[in-house]
Amino acid sequence: MHEHKRSNCIGMYAMWHTMPGKFYGLRAEMSIWASPNIENSQESGASIQIYCQDRGHYNLIQAGFHILPSLYHNRDIRFFTYWTKDSRSKGCYNLQCGGFIPASGAKLVPGQAIAPPSIYGIQDHYIRLSLNKDPNSGDWVVYRHDLETPSFLGHFPKELCPETPRIQALTGFVNYLKNARGPPMGSGHFPDYNEKKSAYFNHIKKYNSKGQAFDPRYTGMVKLVDRKDCYDANDLFLEFKKGYTFNYGGPGGCIG
């Protein structure tokens, strides 16, 4: 997939993704975890990712949560958006360039800190996000769904993700310097089925071309984990109270 940092960085993933096809977006509850010991050169987070074919390469748009001290000069967990024109380009976060356009009066804006984080073994906290193609405008819209009513956060212009086939993914990720030890992902623990101990994507839905949300059964999603000794994801399955769900994460500490 795609390393969205500098060329001297390594990106690691624990994700479920589709194969290329006609896809229109995803929605999920994403748990929020702190990473207080992350180093300035590191990044750890989770996101909804849409890879869009564009004249022989894939553009990427995404929305999620991360800790990135080099950008914010602290270790707060923050809502972020990101896009890159192709997997070799650096791309840009939040409002650094003409990409994501925030809604007026949005309840969550790119770069905004999120609190409180989950507390290991005691309490999980989450935010429910969606990123999907609006059937009217054709733009890729981002909504927050865990408030009293769905809240429109903004959009990526349709020109950033114009064509099919597309790959869509739910991704836990880290980025860190080559030859350094990787940071924790998620809760800093390998995935199990306890949502108070393990980062998760719950109530996963996919969108159709009409902007309607459905369970992702028969979508043919596959798991991708770069380094199972560092990070992992468990099976994507249907659970009574969580809908379609999977857990991910790991302690980090791997080199290269």
User: Which residue type does 168 have?
Assistant: Q
Helix (H, G, I), strand (E, B) or coil at 69: helix
Structure confidence at residue 54 (pLDDT): 79
Helix (H, G, I), strand (E, B) or coil at 149: coil
Indicate whether this model's pTM tops 0.85.
Answer: yes
Measured in residues, the chain has a length of 256
Domain boundaries, the chain: 39-255
Fold of 39-255: Jelly Rolls (2.60.120)
Per-residue pLDDT of the chain (256 residues; tens, 9 = 90+): 544 445 688 999 999 999 999 999 999 999 999 999 999 999 999 999 999 987 778 889 999 999 999 999 999 999 999 998 765 666 889 988 878 999 999 999 999 999 999 999 999 999 999 999 999 999 999 999 999 999 999 999 999 998 889 999 999 999 999 989 999 999 999 999 999 999 999 999 999 999 999 999 877 899 999 999 999 999 999 999 999 999 999 998 988 7
Query: Distance between CA 169 and CA 198 in Å, rounded?
Result: 19
Query: Distance between CA 106 and CA 185 in Å, rounded?
Result: 28
